[in-house]
Amino acid sequence: MFSTKLDLKSSTQGIPSSLKNEFIISGLLGMIQDWLAQGMIYTPHFISTKAYELLHQKDSEKVDVSDFFVI
């Protein structure tokens, strides 16, 4: 259900679903841990909205690894 809800099959073919799921879950848990460590400076609604937006970006809006290596 998790993979179906996020439509992971169409956007990342060739990558095992277990790896995709682990990647997303680790990112969400890291985001929550950081939010808690910073003293919950944002409201729960704000954090959940931003997590939703990150998970449901259109392909044209996604950041590629190469975007971090600007020369």
Work out the mean pLDDT of the chain and round it to a whole number. Answer: 81
d(CA 36, CA 13): 34
Give per-residue pLDDT as tens, 8-18.
555 567 889 89
For tokens 């990150």, what's the residue? Answer: 54
Q: How confident is the model at residue 42 (pLDDT cuts 50, 70, 90)?
A: very high
Q: Which two tokens stand for residue 56?
A: 């449901």
Angle at 16 between CA 12 and CA 20, to 5 degrees: 65
Angle at 26 between CA 23 and CA 29, to 5 degrees: 150
State the pTM of this model.
Answer: 0.62
